[in-house]
Amino acid sequence: MPDTRWFAWRKNNTVARKTLVRTFKKTLSQMNLVENVDWTWHDMAMEFRFPHNGSSITFSEADRSKDRDQMKIKGIDASGNLIDEANELEEDSFDMILSRKGRANENGQPSINIITMNPNNGWSKRRYYDKWKKGILPSNVVVIEYTIDDSWQEANDIAALYRKAKWWVERYIKNNWNYADEDHSLITSYMWEKSLIYDLPPQEPGQPFNKYIGVDPSDAGSDTTVATLIDNGVMIAQKELQIPHREFGEDTGKDQRPISHLYTNELIKFAQQHGFTAGHASRIMLEENGVGVGMRDDLRKRGWQISIYHATNSSRNEIYLGLRKSMDNGDLKIHYRDDEKYDDNTLQRQLFAHTTDMKNEQEVVCPKDDVKKELGISPDKSDSLAIANFAANGAVEADPSQNQNRISL
């Protein structure tokens, strides 16, 4: 139909560029439509235009945190809408988008809303999934269910998905959104999704230094050494520290430099890249294990009086329950990176693999060995994040130069 005005919505345009826009370009190519002949892309406006009939598809975001009065939605006159991952939106934002269809309908275009969602616990499940299962959806709502059989992914990628936590497989692979085993998950999918932010808050002039680093050193074997940076309540960086190839001595056949020294070099480099000096060292919290002890001593010899986290069953329980509280209360956010080289799936998998249970009327986080067995690797990224959050919530030493005692819980 000519002069059709479609709007494609996502919570954030950063994600829309990485997902929806790319999908549309691929689909247009598969339809043998030629760029700059049949269609044009206008990046500033985030809009596809079809010059032969005057139609357009405009991409817009519906993020209440950046548009509390929802002015980006109120002024829209649309023929129809595509609302992608609708479960990420606030329900009132969703309703307002629905109301904008049919306002540009000069030529009798179909006036519809196309909605995609993963109906996690919340309004989307209550409003659509539960009613669909009960057979009581309104007659003007049609559900098309996609399964793993409809996936374009390779067999190896699908197999990797099945290695995720059981509740994740039941929900996201088998579409069983009533599966309740997530009740035992330390970090739920809803908690993870609401912790994600797509744009960093602006830095105010004169803003005090409010950064913390948590470090989970390698224990042994395939473990990694990971540093996590939290800045003003937002996890903005997580890096697996890589040591250079070791230089082997002529006499002993092995490098004379301890591994802990090499890791210390990389940690200081990471810290300095993010504005840390030796004067901020107390804001760096390091788990004290085998390699960690060497790193601690090396750092303090160099004047970096860091804080120490002493890992026990009790302390691990505390930092992970604290992490959940911070994410659930909105005190800790995780910055979504629009970078194909950055993969937050590993952190997500490690967090989701942690479960809790009640013992002696106390909530207890599952042992680390259980998580290793579930994942096949050590949860170094989630441990590092939990330590950083622990530091950011007041656990660092007030004056480590005067107090060399480790923090014990």
DSSP 49-60: EETTTTEEEEEE
Mean pLDDT for the chain overall? 87
| Sequence spans of domains, the chain | 5-134, 148-184, 211-245+255-395
Confidence (pLDDT) at 78: 95
Q: Return the H-helix or E-strand segment holding 298.
A: helix 290-301
CA separation for the pair 344, 347 (Å, rounded): 5
Q: What digits encode the pLDDT tens for the residues 381-394?
A: 999 999 999 999 98
* Confidence label for 25 from pLDDT (cuts 50, 70 and 90): very high
Question: What share of the chain in percent tops pLDDT 70?
Answer: 89
Q: What digits encode the pLDDT tens for the residues 360-385?
A: 888 999 999 999 988 889 999 999 99
Q: Which CATH class is domain 5-134?
A: alpha beta
Token pair for residue 89? Answer: 């939106």
Residue 384 near residue 346 (C-beta atoms within 8 A) = no
Token pair for residue 177? Answer: 């959104």
Q: How far is CA 393 from the centre of its chain?
A: 20
Q: What digits encode the pLDDT tens for the residues 66-90?
A: 888 888 899 899 999 999 999 989 9
Residue 374 near residue 195 (C-beta atoms within 8 A) = no
- Architecture of the domain made up of 211-245+255-395: 2-Layer Sandwich (3.30)
10 Å CB burial of residue 345 (0-12, 13-18, 19+) is exposed
What residues does 169 pair with on adjacent strands?
A: none
